[in-house]
Amino acid sequence: MELISLGINEVLSGGVIWAVIIGALIGVTIGSIPGLEPAGVMAILLPLTFSMEPLFGVTLLLGVYGGAWYGGAIPAILMNTPGTPVAVLTTYDGYPMAKRGEGKKALSIAYTSSFFGGIISVLSLVFFAPVLSQVATLFGSAEFAMLALLGMVFVVLAHNEYAIEAAAMIGLGMFLGTIGIDRSYSTQVYTLDQSFLLAGVPLVPAVIGLFAMSQAYILLSTKSGDSFKTKLEGSGHFSGFVVLLRNKVTAIRSAILGVLMGLLPGVGEFGSQFFSYTLAQKFSKKPDEFGNGAEAGIVASETSNNAVTASVLIPLLAFGIPADALMAMLLSVFMVHNYIPGPRLFTEHPEFISGLYVSLFIMNIFVFVYLTFASKYIVNITRIRGRFIGALIFVLGFLGAYSQNYQITDALIALFFSVIGYIMKRNNIPAVPIILGLVLGPVFLDRMRQALGVSNGNFEIFVDRPIAFTLLMLTMLSITVFVFSKVRKKAVA
């Protein structure tokens, strides 16, 4: 109760509640617009958060992040077009329900399921993050090196059919992470004698270019008549709770899967949603209804992807390891304010941690209530033309990259990455591994160097230390299982 009281006081006294509300409203709006991803908007807002109080900036970004997953269900159900990439499976059963005049009921199920998953996710963060942060006290250089390696391997394997492309991109990200001054020898590495590269490739312009400005190109290239008109029909606007109780086993299973998948780098919402939907269909008494308007299908999809939103923070807060590109953005906010993730963060800044918990609870409650009563107005957002949004994003992205350090070179770096990101999107090459390679690559290389320095170059340090050895074995096992499944699948085909 003391922790909760401290968090409530921090949220109310610092005006953080406004960051939660504003971020959530932006997120819901972004999720409601097909083709516009939360990563791009978060990238644009990222430079602004550096001048804010730490909790204010973090909750603003988390509001966008969490609100977008709620809002993505609106176009998925009413237009058969996912507002966010993770709402794809929601279209399978949401749109058929809308076609038969049950749009309001489908949205109510989606909102209620998202709320349930979101609350479970926050509870998992409250209980597991402090425990795992204590585990982090047992980690040395060897353990952190293996943890970073495991994270990068998970990112690659999570892309499944595009694993080779993901491996190449994470390698590119690791290479970009080596650019700058090598502190061990005080020498320049791949700077090409350019002073603006001495500090390395800046994360913020790279993120803005890859996720925001590249998406702007996509929107700018859409046809002129790309706006939609949607109708919200039917009754049962408050029937979501009844449906959730009727499918409580599916909801609980999907929430647990979402929490567990959030802990794994690179897996997140996509993996949890796929497994939850598959299991819901497998254990259903009426599996043929899935894909034709099954209530349990919406429950599984929306519960699982929202159960990730807070649990994905656990590896970031406990170990300082971002599970995806969005968490890498949050990590940059932490580092700017000298809030180092790990055990010390929980002991030195308890008001920040408790405020973060309370903010996430408030965000889920606010978004649920807001969407329940405002959906009939929000659907009009789909009439905004993609070209207008694309032009706005491009300008804001360029300004956001420049405003970080007020250097034109940062804006040019963002422009460079925007072209790369556009090419990758057009060729279905994943961009997330580049950012995680840029973040985790230096961690892996630096910790590997430190560990080998302690052991005088003896690689047995990664075998002699139990935790490091366990992480190494998990890495090898993951690669082995992935390769075996691919070979087996090819043999069957």
Q: How far apart are CA 340 and CA 338, in angstroms?
A: 6
Strand partners, 189: 180
Q: Residues 6 or more apart from 190 whose CB is under 8 A from it?
A: 175, 178, 179, 197
Three-state DSSP class for residue 422: helix
How far, in Å, are 232, 318, 343, 364, 461 from residue 360 at the CA level?
A: 29, 17, 21, 6, 40
What's the farthest any 2 CA atoms get from each other in the chain? 71
Give 493's pLDDT tier (boundaries 50, 70, 90): low
Three-state DSSP class for residue 189: strand
- Whether 361 shows a pLDDT value over 80: the answer reads yes
Three-state DSSP class for residue 181: strand
pLDDT recorded at residue 362: 92
- Whether 483 shows a pLDDT value over 80: the answer reads yes
291: left (phi over 0), alpha (psi -120 to 50) or beta: left
pLDDT recorded at residue 322: 83
pLDDT recorded at residue 423: 92
**Run of H or E residues at 180:** strand 180-182
Strand partners, 226: none
pLDDT recorded at residue 252: 93
- For the CA atoms of 372, 376, 378, 382, the dihedral, rounded to the nearest 10 degrees, stands at 140
Give the count of alpha carbons within 13 A of 452, CB side only: 10
CB-based contact 28:70 (threshold 8 Å): yes
- Whether 476 shows a pLDDT value over 90: the answer reads yes
CB-based contact 54:339 (threshold 8 Å): yes
pLDDT recorded at residue 233: 56
The larger pLDDT score, comparing residue 96 to residue 88, is at: 96
Tokens representing 110 are 């989606």
CB-based contact 170:155 (threshold 8 Å): yes
pLDDT recorded at residue 113: 93
CB-based contact 27:71 (threshold 8 Å): yes
CB-based contact 103:97 (threshold 8 Å): yes
Helix 54-71 to helix 295-306 angle (10° resolution) is 160
Query: Mean pLDDT throughout 230-239?
Result: 60
Render pLDDT for 69-82 as a digit per residue (tens, 0 to 9): 888 888 888 877 77
pLDDT recorded at residue 6: 75
Q: How far apart are CA 329 and CA 420, in angstroms?
A: 19
Percent of the chain at pLDDT > 70 equals: 92
pTM of whole model > 0.75?
Answer: yes
Percent of the chain at pLDDT > 90 equals: 15
pLDDT recorded at residue 157: 83
The larger pLDDT score, comparing residue 206 to residue 381, is at: 206
How far, in Å, are 78, 97, 104, 367, 467 from residue 233 at the CA level?
A: 9, 10, 6, 21, 55
CB-based contact 153:321 (threshold 8 Å): no
**Run of H or E residues at 440:** helix 432-454
Quote the mean pLDDT of the chain: 84
- Give the single-character DSSP code of 211: I
Query: Mean pLDDT throughout 380-385?
Result: 68
pLDDT recorded at residue 234: 54
Q: How far apart are CA 489 and CA 493, in angstroms?
A: 6
Render pLDDT for 144-181 as a digit per residue (tens, 0 to 9): 899 889 888 888 887 778 888 989 999 999 999 888 88
Nearest to 50 by CA among 363, 370, 333, 362: 333
**Run of H or E residues at 299:** helix 295-306
Q: How far apart are CA 154 and CA 166, in angstroms?
A: 10
pLDDT recorded at residue 223: 66
Alpha helices in 100-187 (DSSP H): 103-135, 141-158, 163-178
Give 416's pLDDT tier (boundaries 50, 70, 90): very high
Q: How far apart are CA 10 and CA 54, in angstroms?
A: 12
Q: Poorest-confidence range of 146-150, 192-196, 310-314, 423-427?
A: 192-196
Nearest to 247 by CA among 78, 70, 80, 112: 112
Phi, psi (deg, nearest 5) at residue 337: -95, 10
Nearest to 328 by CA among 400, 432, 410, 257: 432
Q: Residues 6 or more apart from 420 whose CB is under 8 A from it?
A: 209, 210, 214
Residue type, position 405, single letter: N
